[in-house]
Amino acid sequence: MEENIERFERIRSYIKGEMSIEDRISFERDLLNDNELAKEFEEIEGISKATVKVYEEEQLQHDLEMVEREMAEADKLAKSLLTKEPFFKKVQQWFTPGSYEATPNPNGSTLSFGSRMAITFAIAAALALGVFLPVNNHHLAVAGYNEAGQILSNGQIQFNTLRGDDEISDKLESSYSLIQDGKYQEALTSLTEVEESIDQQISALSDDDSAIMRLSELNRMKQDAEWYRAILLMREKKVGQAKKLLKLIAKSDSVYADKAQMLMKEVY
């Protein structure tokens, strides 16, 4: 019983990236020599990935529904503003005592003075938000830019990945060099290419035990690439893209999940 618990804890720690480099190497060596451990690892990792995928799909569906509702509300508001008279003249008429009885709504009945005040308040709020949101977005962009600068400064780049000698590792190293040279846009492009290459290799891996170590290595490299791409998106003041990627990292089993959650809380 205790042995099973210990095996499970090792697998969990490995998947979550909580092991030291020495423990990770030891665990990967055991995976090659212990078929039972390799089988348990494959099952638990599969469940973990499936759970994350289901959650992400549900979250995406929720986000799409929210966008659809917001677009419907925006369309409804836009149609309500399509009057024959200029907007501010219409507002003045709504607030002129004695005039509201002469202004029918689209159904032919007249609007009460209270109803007109409510409508005007809603429109004014929408106009105010139209001003506020860009200002707030600018504030988030500046906050993210400053935070990213601190993370990238003074050689603070740290790696989750054990360096290899393959093409993807070389490309990842090149991306880090671009970051350290301050070539952030080029680094963004390079990291995106790294992630695409990793996804292609993962999809081409076989299902046998010999692919387990390579899959683990590719996943660690992708975690590195995603994390630093998120930081660069903050540095480039791309608020929407940075938030989306940080949210994805925070909800995954990435070794950077806690850091991503902290950035979402402190910056966005």
> Domain residue spans in the chain?
1-80, 126-268
Most confident by average pLDDT, 71-80, 106-115, 201-210, 223-232: 223-232
Q: What is the pLDDT of residues 161-216, one digit of tens each?
A: 555 568 888 898 899 889 888 899 999 999 999 999 999 988 888 776 667 888 88
pLDDT of residue 176: 87
Q: Write out 125-180 in H/E/C secondary structure.
A: HHHHHHHHHHHHHHHHHHHHHHHHHHHHHHHCCCCCCCCCCCHHHHHHHHHHHHHH
Lowest-pLDDT choice from 54-63, 113-122, 171-180, 233-242: 113-122
Q: What is the pLDDT of residues 239-256, one digit of tens each?
A: 889 999 999 999 999 999
Q: CA-CA distances (angstroms) from residue 256 to 24, 117, 144, 159, 176?
A: 17, 50, 17, 10, 17
Most confident by average pLDDT, 28-32, 103-107, 158-162, 183-187: 183-187
pLDDT of residue 227: 94
Separation of CA 156 from chain center = 22
139 versus 75: which is more confidently predicted? 139
DSSP assignment letter at 82: -
pLDDT of residue 10: 85
How many residues belong to the chain?
Answer: 268
Asked if 17 and 160 touch (Cβ cutoff 8 Å), the reply is yes
Most confident by average pLDDT, 63-77, 123-137, 184-198: 184-198
Q: Percent of the chain scored above 90 by pLDDT?
A: 21
Rounded CA separation 102/113 (Å): 11
Indicate if the pLDDT at residue 139 is higher than 70. yes
Say if pTM beats, i.e. exceeds, 0.75: no
